[in-house]
Structure 1
Amino acid sequence: MKIRNSAKALIIQHNKLLVTKLQDESGIFYLLPGGGQEAGEKLQECLVRECIEETGFVIEVKELLFVRECFADKDIHRVEFIFKGDIVRYTEATVMDHNQLGMEWLELDTILGAPLYPRELRTIIAAYIIGHKAQIYLGEIQ
């Protein structure tokens, strides 16, 4: 089994959460911006690169908020590092994922009902927003 590191950003501005908007056979869903770490790349560098590619925003990577594991793919053990991110400036999205429709800002007060994945992350983000931070290591959440 291959281990794959991934960096994700939790970016909040004006009471909204920045997400990537995707579509598959099940419909539209959202993910935090970010993606896979390349060999020799630091996690923070990975996150800045991925955010530019997917959203067009150059970000400043802040503190590590959460670590999550994922076994959705048969031969890949994914470890996601979720960092707080602050927008520095906008450029232009360069390389969106194959099923990505774009980006969107989700209202924080509707986060629990939004199709944001993984599903359990919705509750964790809602708690974080009101100042209740979960433990850093989340384990495998769905």
Structure 2
Amino acid sequence: MGRTEYYHDPKAPKANTLIPASNLLVVNDEGAILLQRRRDTGQWALPGGAQDIGESPAQCAVRECEEETGIVAEVTGFLGVYSNPEHIIEYTDGEIRQQYEAVYIGRPVGGKPTVNEEADGVRWVHPDDLDKLDIHPSMHEQIGHYLTGAYPYLG
């Protein structure tokens, strides 16, 4: 399913859904951050996705991380809640979603970076190299809050 993201765009369509989702900002012992390159947008992002019934937001973040990157991680902290009415994601099936993400901080405990049907690239990125990648502004915001210690963010 394809998607188009709108970020502070007055031409964005009106949202018709709000789905709880979780991201996991995983940091290894060298201080590098785990990122995946999304197949649907081509941009680098934190692993994350929609929460399933029967799991907590933290469990969702851990599951999505392993599914999307091959890295098994554990939650070590909470970065914040990100729900910006000016960040709209339009899917090809007609769903138009307002961003809503609970973002956790984690550390790797197993696995290895692995591409899959959702991500055509998975890698550890040192903070000094983040500006070399095409990263969506909402992900830059989340990573920036982590790097500056401006959390928990309750936006």
State if a TM-score over 0.5 links the two structures. yes
- 57, 60, 77: which one pairs with 1:63? 77
* Residue in structure 2 matching 1:83, options 104, 107, 116: 104
Q: Which has the higher strand share?
A: 1
Identity %: 24
| Unaligned residue ranges in structure 2 (runs of 5+) | 1-15
- Find out whether 1:37 has 2:51 as its counterpart: yes
Instruction: State the partner residue of 1:3.
Output: 18
Q: What is the alpha-carbon root mean square deviation over aligned residues?
A: 2.6
Q: Give me the whole-angstrom Cα distance separating, in 1, the residues matched to 2:101 and 2:63.
A: 16
Q: Tell me the amino acid that sits aligned with residue 102 of structure 1.
A: G
Q: Mark the CA change 1:46 to 1:132 in structure 2 (over 3 Å): closer, same or farther.
A: closer
CA-to-aligned-CA distance 1:98-124 (integer Å, 9 cap, x gap): xx203111221122343112x154255
Counterpart for residue 105 of structure 1: 124
TM-score when scaled to structure 1? Answer: 0.76
Give the CA deviation at 1:62.
Answer: 2.3
Q: Residue in 2 aligned with 1:19? A: 35
Alpha carbons 2:73, 2:110 under 8 Å: kept:
yes
Instruction: Give the TM-score of the pair, scaled to structure 2.
Output: 0.71
Cα distance per residue 1:72-95 (max 9 Å; x no partner) = 236323310110011111167596
Q: 1:128 to 1:48 in 2, by over 3 A?
A: closer
AA aligned to 1:85 is G
